[in-house]
Amino acid sequence: MENIKSYVQQHKDRFINELIELLKIPSVSADTAYSQDVIDTAEAVKASLSQAGCDFVETCDTPGYPIIYGEKIIDPNLPTVLVYGHYDVQPPDPMELWTSPPFEPVIKTTDIHPEGAIFARGACDDKGQMYMHVKALEYMVQSNTLPCNVKFMIEGEEEVGSASLAWFVERNQEKLKNDVILISDTGMISNQQPSITTGLRGLSYVEVEVTGPNRDLHSGLYGGAVANPINILAKMIASLHDEDNHITIPGFYDKVQELSAEERAEMAKAPFSLEKYKNALNIADVYGEKGYVTNERNSIRPTLDVNGIWGGYTGEGAKTVIASKAYAKISMRLVPNQDWHEITELFTKHFTSIAPAGVTVKVTPHHGGQGYVTPIDSIGYQAANKAYTETFGVPAIPVRSGGSIPIVSLFEKELKSKTILMGFGLDSDAIHSPNEHFGIFNYLKGIETIPLFYKYFVALSK
């Protein structure tokens, strides 16, 4: 497969331009104003899979956005790789913080990406990383080196909880049968040090509503005499962590898997600079659960964070008011063995119980998913490691990530196969933030590395 490098060199401008076209369509799944764009993106993905060499592609309708399915079956006796990715993106806001419009992709250089990076919403998460697989397939088909069967399943609701994908997977076990699931929707340590994600956190996402008086009140006439829902909500939220930053919900930690001293020592070997971490975020210090270091706090430990909080008057100037209602959106990142339904229930029970008599509390669960860990002695992991070693010149380091791809644990349950997370993004690529970007180096390196995964996976499966 020596000529994957030359194929990439020869076609890189086209690879970049095709991705740029895909990034121009604003496939924001959270906002119905973009629904036609989401559907258009699905069709663009479908066309790209046919063009790359799938011999069957279809748009699968679901209760929500369509799933694009494609396959190339060369021999039913050979292994099958199932590629999963998502074509939907996060909302771009806050718009004013983008240095170029989120759906008008441009290439700019950064300190970390001296050879340039594509700036656009979805560049890294996940259109860019998903499209590497389409181009890797194109190469394998063109060079007649596809060593096994391949199936693609690209969805449009990942950023809003993958409800339709769960529906689809439950109904299509036979169609989706595979030997390994391959996903590029995570990151790696740096462009000099590849890593393979061996764990994802679970998630429970809830919205809370605190109601006080039946109408907004004059804060002078009533202030001090009735419960202010915003004050109360702030107090309730603050009480969810103790002074050591442990979460105070009874039962929250009951099923948390503690890592052994050896496993923690192994984790500590991954290159990490606290100084660089703080500098990159412009913070004077890190903050988190007592007894754990930063790389543990953001991967092997569960968390509780307010993602948004609102209520009362937030317009220009001042208005003296006690609002009738206050709201917050809260996410809990979970670790393996914590069940998200159970955690959602524990949260609801506790949060309702700590409300004083002057208010009522409503908790509405949004979505969630289980965490995931994968062993490093599997054929899939070994194949991925060999592939990275060949293209980067150094072996990959296993890393547990703090992010969530809830569908991965469902894949294991329904399809009985392991997922390999071959990410090529960097933490600094600003996914979900303004100015999201994806390095040209990373994009092309991904296209180069993926065919090697196929090669080694098939070789090791024999």
Binds ligand BES (CB under 6 A): choice among 27, 29, 80, 186: 186
Of all residues in the shown chain, the one whose CB is closest to ligand BES is 403
Does 138 help bind Mn ion (rule: CB under 5 A)?
A: no
Measured in whole angstroms, the distance separating CA 131 from the mean position of its chain's CA atoms is 16
Q: Report the C-alpha gap between 3 and 138 in whole angstroms.
A: 13
Residue 124 contact among ligand BES, Mn ion, none, beta carbon within 5 to 8 Å by kind:
none
# chain residues binding ligand BES, by CB under 6 A: 15
Residue 335 contact among ligand BES, Mn ion, none, beta carbon within 5 to 8 Å by kind:
none
Which residue, 1 or 373, is less far from ligand BES as judged by CB? 373
| Tokens read off for 445 | 């390196």
| Tokens read off for 212 | 């006080």
Does 157 help bind Mn ion (rule: CB under 5 A)?
A: no
Q: How far, CA to CA in Å, does 61 sit from each of 68, 69, 209?
A: 9, 10, 34
Which residue, 359 or 431, is less far from ligand BES as judged by CB? 431
Binds Mn ion (CB under 5 A): choice among 18, 71, 185, 436: 185
Residue window 56-95: x/- pattern of binding to ligand BES, with contact defined by CB under 6 A = ----------------------------------------
Q: Of 376, 382, 423, which Cα lies nearest the Cα of 403?
A: 423
Measured in whole angstroms, the distance separating CA 9 from the mean position of its chain's CA atoms is 29
The three-class DSSP label of residue 41 is helix
Contact 160, 59 (CB under 8 A): no
| Tokens read off for 57 | 């592609």
Which residue, 178 or 409, is less far from ligand BES as judged by CB? 409
Binds ligand BES (CB under 6 A): choice among 81, 134, 153, 203: 203
Shortest Cβ 382–ligand BES spacing (Å): 21
51 CB-near residues (< 8 Å, 6+ apart): 138
Which residue, 70 or 202, is less far from ligand BES as judged by CB? 202
248 CB-near residues (< 8 Å, 6+ apart): 239, 240, 241, 242, 350
- Which amino acid is located at 441 in the chain? F
Q: How far, CA to CA in Å, does 238 sit from each of 131, 173, 273, 304, 461?
A: 42, 44, 30, 11, 52
The three-class DSSP label of residue 238 is helix
Alpha helices, H only, 176-303: 229-238, 261-267, 274-281, 294-297
Shortest Cβ 181–Mn ion spacing (Å): 15
| Tokens read off for 160 | 């809003």
Which residue, 227 or 410, is less far from Mn ion as judged by CB? 410
Binds ligand BES (CB under 6 A): choice among 18, 37, 71, 125: 125
Does 204 help bind ligand BES (rule: CB under 6 A)?
A: no
15-23, 28-36, 115-123, 154-162 -> range binding ligand BES (CB under 6 A): 154-162
Residue 187 contact among Mn ion, ligand BES, none, beta carbon within 5 to 8 Å by kind:
ligand BES
Binds ligand BES (CB under 6 A): choice among 158, 179, 436, 448: 158
Q: Of 105, 85, 86, 88, which Cα lies nearest the Cα of 34?
A: 88
Q: Report the C-alpha gap between 177 and 175 in whole angstroms.
A: 6
Shortest Cβ 162–Mn ion spacing (Å): 10
Does 161 help bind ligand BES (rule: CB under 6 A)?
A: yes
User: What pairing do the DSSP bridges indicate for beta strands 180-183 and 80-86?
Assistant: parallel
Give the footprint of ligand BES on residues 396-435 (CB under 6 A).
Answer: 401, 403-406
22-30, 119-127, 242-250, 349-357 -> range binding Mn ion (CB under 5 A): 119-127
Q: Which residues bind Mn ion (CB under 5 A)?
A: 125-126, 185
Q: Which residues bind ligand BES (CB under 6 A)?
A: 125-126, 158-159, 161, 185-187, 200, 203, 401, 403-406
